[in-house]
């Protein structure tokens, strides 16, 4: 009897402690987001502050929609459930339609518009393939790693450490991969014109959509749809969001990012920068590496991190995901402080593979796949094919990393 009374009395105490913890987190989030915005506006520019806020919105959207590129691909590989990939198709279609007038305008409100269009060649194929393996071992891509960290998953932190290390290693080899066989950047818009280019984009997206439907029906007899209990308009703040709504929201967000900064959303270039800063602090000289000889990259290496837009957006992305997790009341449930050693090793290796692969292939699921395809770049489509092939291998390795699926 005394044990029962003791157990029942401990529960309210624990709940009160967690409530105070949540309140402290709200204060911390407020300071980081609002204080960070004021700081950036004062020290860098109002545009930098706005992009900082947009990064937080991205983390908020990714968390509430549980919009995982890694999980969506894995579900299709293992179970032929294509709902997640079809949501990505809708996202890419919406983003393409929103990007089209901006890219055709060349300049909007004094800002030059430039899509994520990169060379097509061996480095993209190899890098994306490696990335695909790593994203399954690390249980998240670039954006997934960040929003997992914001949501309380320490496994994401392990993957991020590997991500940064892999990015640094890749920058030391960059000149080699840069000289491997490749074609110059190919844009559907520039090669075929706006109308034909957009129609070709629709055809390619429709082919992916149709393939998932046909394969899923053949395997399962019908289309799987995950039930999401949307609780009216309050779900905007507390979640969850239907995955398609999340994808469409991310498409609008990426278009706004393009409009504000003149280029689409990216994630992983910041990891190479963070790693190079660590090398500098340890007495190394990454500024002598070929990767950093580009004037823009060299300037980022010489300036404080808060001048680097991708870095500040990554930081706010994690903060936005943290806010979403606290509002949803899921932070306590999802916090993982103790991880199996095999999972730690797998996440670390996966992070290294992602970091290395992202530098070779000009980005991750956000910068290369999402922003690349939305920019009508053939390299984005090649990245998708190679990364998906790598994911097939990564999925087979996952059980050895102590993941449940």
Of residues 296 and 264, more confidently modeled: 264
Are 366 and 378 a contacting pair, CB within 8 Å?
Answer: no
Q: Report the pLDDT value the prediction gives residue 14, as an integer from 0 to 100.
A: 67
Mean pLDDT, range 299-310, rounded to an integer = 94
Q: Report the pLDDT value the prediction gives residue 2, as an integer from 0 to 100.
A: 46
The chain-wide mean pLDDT, for the chain, equals: 92
Q: Report the pLDDT value the prediction gives residue 234, as an integer from 0 to 100.
A: 85
DSSP secondary structure, 202-266, as one string: HHHHHHHHHHHHHHHHHHHSS---------GGGHHHH----HHHHHHHHHHHHHHHHHHHSS---
Instruction: Report d(CA 60, CA 326) in Å as an integer.
Output: 11
pLDDT higher than threshold 90 for residue 217: yes
Q: Before 320, cis peptide (omega within 30)?
A: no
Q: Report the pLDDT value the prediction gives residue 337, as an integer from 0 to 100.
A: 72
Mean pLDDT, range 34-55, rounded to an integer = 97
Provide the angle, in degrees to the nearest 10, between the axes of the packed helices 46-65 and 36-43.
Answer: 150
Q: What is the CA radius of gyration of the chain?
A: 21
Instruction: Report d(CA 72, CA 391) in Å as an integer.
Output: 11
Q: Report the pLDDT value the prediction gives residue 226, as an integer from 0 to 100.
A: 81
Give domain limits for the chain.
18-401
Provide the angle, in degrees to the nearest 10, between the axes of the packed helices 122-137 and 378-397.
Answer: 40
Mean pLDDT, range 165-193, rounded to an integer = 94
**Beta-carbon contacts of residue 104 (< 8 Å; ≥ 6 apart):** 189, 194
pLDDT bracket for residue 106 (50, 70, 90): confident
pLDDT higher than threshold 90 for residue 1: no
Q: Report the pLDDT value the prediction gives residue 86, as an integer from 0 to 100.
A: 97
pLDDT higher than threshold 70 for residue 195: yes
Q: Report the pLDDT value the prediction gives residue 10, as an integer from 0 to 100.
A: 43
Mean pLDDT, range 360-384, rounded to an integer = 96
Looking at the DSSP bridge assignments, the partners of residue 183 are: 120
Are 360 and 177 a contacting pair, CB within 8 Å?
Answer: yes
Q: Report the pLDDT value the prediction gives residue 324, as an integer from 0 to 100.
A: 95
DSSP 367: I
pLDDT higher than threshold 80 for residue 391: yes
pLDDT higher than threshold 80 for residue 13: no
The string of pLDDT tens digits covering residues 71-95 is 999 999 999 999 999 999 999 999 9
pLDDT higher than threshold 90 for residue 233: no
Mean pLDDT, range 376-401, rounded to an integer = 96
Q: Report the pLDDT value the prediction gives residue 329, as an integer from 0 to 100.
A: 86
Which DSSP helix (H) or strand (E) runs through 55? helix 46-65
Are 90 and 247 a contacting pair, CB within 8 Å?
Answer: yes
Instruction: Report d(CA 193, CA 208) in Å as an integer.
Output: 22
């Amino acid at each position: 009897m005394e044990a029962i009374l003791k157990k029942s009395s401990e529960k309210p105490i624990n709940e009160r402690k967690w409530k105070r913890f949540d309140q402290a987190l709200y204060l911390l989030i407020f300071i980081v987001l609002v204080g960070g915005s004021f700081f950036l506006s004062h020290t860098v520019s109002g545009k930098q502050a706005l992009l900082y806020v947009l990064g937080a919105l991205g983390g908020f959207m990714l968390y509430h929609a549980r919009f995982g590129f890694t999980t969506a691909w894995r579900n299709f590989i293992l179970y032929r459930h294509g709902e997640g990939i079809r949501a990505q198709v809708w996202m890419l279609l919406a983003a393409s339609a929103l990007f089209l007038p901006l890219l055709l305008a060349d300049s909007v409100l004094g800002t030059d518009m430039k899509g994520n269009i990169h060379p097509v060649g061996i480095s993209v194929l190899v890098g994306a393939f490696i990335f695909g393996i790593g994203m399954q071992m690390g249980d998240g891509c670039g954006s997934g790693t960040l929003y997992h960290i914001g949501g309380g998953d320490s496994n994401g932190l392990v993957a991020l450490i590997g991500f940064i290390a892999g990015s640094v290693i890749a920058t030391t080899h960059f000149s080699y991969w840069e000289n491997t066989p490749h074609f110059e950047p190919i844009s559907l818009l520039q090669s075929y014109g706006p109308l034909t280019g957009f129609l070709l984009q629709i055809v390619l997206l429709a082919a992916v959509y149709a393939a998932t439907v046909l394969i899923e029906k053949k395997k399962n007899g019908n289309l799987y749809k995950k039930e999401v209990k949307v609780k009216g308009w309050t779900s905007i703040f507390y979640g969850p969001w239907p995955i398609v709504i999340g994808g469409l929201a991310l498409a609008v967000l990426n278009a706004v990012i393009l409009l504000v900064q003149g280029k689409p959303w990216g994630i992983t270039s910041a990891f190479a920068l963070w790693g190079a800063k660590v090398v500098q602090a340890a007495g190394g000289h990454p500024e002598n590496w070929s990767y950093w000889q580009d004037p823009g990259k060299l300037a980022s290496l010489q300036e404080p991190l808060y001048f680097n837009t991708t870095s500040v957006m990554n930081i706010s992305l994690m903060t936005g995901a943290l806010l979403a997790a606290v509002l949803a009341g899921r932070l306590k449930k999802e916090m993982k402080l103790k991880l199996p050693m095999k999972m730690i090793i797998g996440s670390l290796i996966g992070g290294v593979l992602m970091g290395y692969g992202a530098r070779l292939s000009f980005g991750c699921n956000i910068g290369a796949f999402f922003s690349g395809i939305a920019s009508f770049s053939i390299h984005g489509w090649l990245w998708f094919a190679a990364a998906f092939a790598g994911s097939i291998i990564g999925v087979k390795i996952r059980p050895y990393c102590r993941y449940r699926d």
